[in-house]
Amino acid sequence: MPPVAVAADAERELARRSVSEMGAGAQRPSVMSSARVVVALLTASLLLLGASTPAPTVARHPWTDPGHLRIGALRTLDNLNPLLSGQAATSDIAQFVFSGLIRFDDRGEPIPDAAQSVPTRENGGISADGKTITYHLRPDVRFSDGKPLTADDVVFSWQQVMNPRNNVPFHFPYDQAESVTAKDPRTVVVRLRAASAPFVSDFFRCGVQGAILPKHLLDGKPDLNHDPFDNAPVGSGPFMVERYETNSVIEMVPNPYWFGGKPGLRRVTYRIIPSENTLLVSLRTHEIDFYFGAPEQQYRDLRTLPGVTTSANPSSQFEMVAFNGGRAPLSDLRLRRALSTAIDWRTLARTIYLDVDLPDWGDMFPRSWAYTAQPDPTPYDPVKARAMLDAAGWKPGPDGIRTKDGHRLELEMSTVAGVMTRQNAEVVIQQQLRAVGADVLVHNAQANLLFAPIGAGGLFAGGKYDLAIYAWTKNPDPDDSQTAGPEYLPPNGANYSRVVDAQLGALQHRANAVYDHAARKRLYAAVERRLGEVLPYHTIVWRANVNAWNDDLHGVRPAQSISDFWNAGSWTL
């Protein structure tokens, strides 16, 4: 982490501890200069979980129900227990209900959550050999049932991720830990098998595979796959689940024990509405206050709505076409490269994604410190694509569809049903691939089926597709082992493409073992080049999360990574 970030962490930590120590029921510090108290409290008011903590406002609109936020979102959920889900939608709910050790703010910087600080070498949290990471917990974190969150809960949660009976989506990065121990109730010590710069902020960051579970409620159970907890979770975030109607509505109310103080909202109603057109109408008619994750096609309409604030900030979520290299015919690299060359990626970004997002081909966020601009290894060239298919043995048949060894070049493509932008992209890709001799059949499904863990029958995790369009939210750290590493096939990771390349894996390991940013950047340029050579996936765009909300709602700061709900405890309406 660069010195500026370290300094910022130190300031944030000072502010957090000051608020914690001077809050209700806490011990006041015996010695602290008045100037430092003022600075700490002012800093805390701005930085606690990224909160801007505006003063409560008087509603300007007759449709506003003060303190009651109604959110509408498209995607179904496979679970409310984040350890059993790989969905971005579950990560979003986790921001309300759970704590991790850290979370990411709107700038993509790791900030403390249940931990007092983000471990660094400077603060003693990372050992000299880079293999021991120490997290110190805040003293005031409690679950919504009033029980304290301790180091034992962190150790227990790690054990649940690694429990082979649990249908977790992936073991990454938890399998990098040789041991996770509770040195005392407020100290967690992780011993890594090898130094790993990404691990520090990947380990129990709030979201999927990053929520700290209550040991006192779940200990002793053989697995958590069908536990009542999964639909009625108890966490330590700013809110708690009052009621959940499966894939219909989640009612959340404030957690009275939240360490951040009293949340600014008295109730959150999160409605799952499986139609983007219905969501738009619901915002227009004021049945919801917040339309989350709208398609690019609705962005212009949303901006014209009176009394509505819109955002479309590019994020580290890359929208891709994944190629299933784990089964024929796409196990043949020559075919993957030919099909990628037959797709007009730039035209997709312009005409389907409407230039709202950032186009690029790799999985390195263009606004990351680690980004190096490099040419697309498979630029659009249908003439070249046909020649590549010929060379790979795929010859045109009477109807124009190519065959090889008696097999037609028929492929299945899948995405989340009802997502307008992706369904439009499927039509264009279908046409472009047919033009070079590939017949593409579209079979879409709900998100909770596509992204379910392999043990729960997930289609992507189980490799039950040929081509897939989906987005993956990348941590701000540049590491892509989870989605492309050879050792991270499900359930170990989310390498849904099932492309296994030892050279790519070796480069990833070298890059992860280095803490210096300049050295890592050089290595990740090589990682990206190799990614383009073996082609597990090709990025279309880096998605801008399109959101629109009632402008009586204050405190929303859309994030560069993980979730736009990262500071929901500070919102007011």
Report the CATH number that the domain containing residue 550 is assigned in CATH. 3.40.190.10
Q: What is the pTM of this model?
A: 0.81
**Does residue 330 share a domain with residue 400?**
yes
pLDDT confidence band for 35 (50 / 70 / 90):
very low
- In this structure, of 46-55, 84-93, 131-140, the range with the lowest mean pLDDT score is 46-55
Cα of first residue to Cα of last residue in the chain, in angstroms, is 36
**Does residue 514 share a domain with residue 405?**
yes
Domain for residue 442, yes or no?
A: yes
**Does residue 321 share a domain with residue 305?**
no
Domain that holds residue 551: 233-313+545-570
CATH number at residue 410: 3.10.105.10
Dihedral sign (CA 340, 343, 348, 352)? negative
What is the maximum alpha-carbon separation in the chain?
87
**Does residue 244 share a domain with residue 284?**
yes
pLDDT confidence band for 128 (50 / 70 / 90):
very high
Domain for residue 107, yes or no?
A: no
Domain for residue 427, yes or no?
A: yes
**Does residue 297 share a domain with residue 265?**
yes
**Does residue 483 share a domain with residue 459?**
yes
Per-residue confidence (pLDDT) for residue 59, from 0 to 100: 63
The Cα 16–Cα 20 span in angstroms is 6
Residue 327's Cβ-side half-sphere holds a number of Cα atoms within 13 Å equal to 11
Those residues with Cβ within 8 angstroms of residue 287's Cβ, 6 or more apart along the chain or in another chain: 70, 72
Per-residue confidence (pLDDT) for residue 84, from 0 to 100: 95
The tokens describing 218, both together, are 């779940």
Per-residue confidence (pLDDT) for residue 314, from 0 to 100: 87
Domain for residue 147, yes or no?
A: no
Domain for residue 69, yes or no?
A: no
The Cα 50–Cα 111 span in angstroms is 8
**Does residue 483 share a domain with residue 414?**
yes
With a pLDDT cut of 90, the percent of the chain lying above it is 86
Domain for residue 376, yes or no?
A: yes
pLDDT tens-place string over residues 198-207: 999 999 999 9
**Does residue 471 share a domain with residue 454?**
yes
The Cα 75–Cα 274 span in angstroms is 7
**Does residue 438 share a domain with residue 474?**
yes
pLDDT tens-place string over residues 396-432: 999 999 999 999 999 999 999 999 999 999 999 999 9
Domain for residue 323, yes or no?
A: yes
**Does residue 330 share a domain with residue 265?**
no
Domain for residue 157, yes or no?
A: no
Per-residue confidence (pLDDT) for residue 313, from 0 to 100: 87
Give how many domains the chain has, as a whole number: 2
Amino acid code (one letter) for 192: L
**Does residue 321 share a domain with residue 269?**
no
The Cα 276–Cα 96 span in angstroms is 23
Average pLDDT (363-387) is 97
**Does residue 518 share a domain with residue 397?**
yes
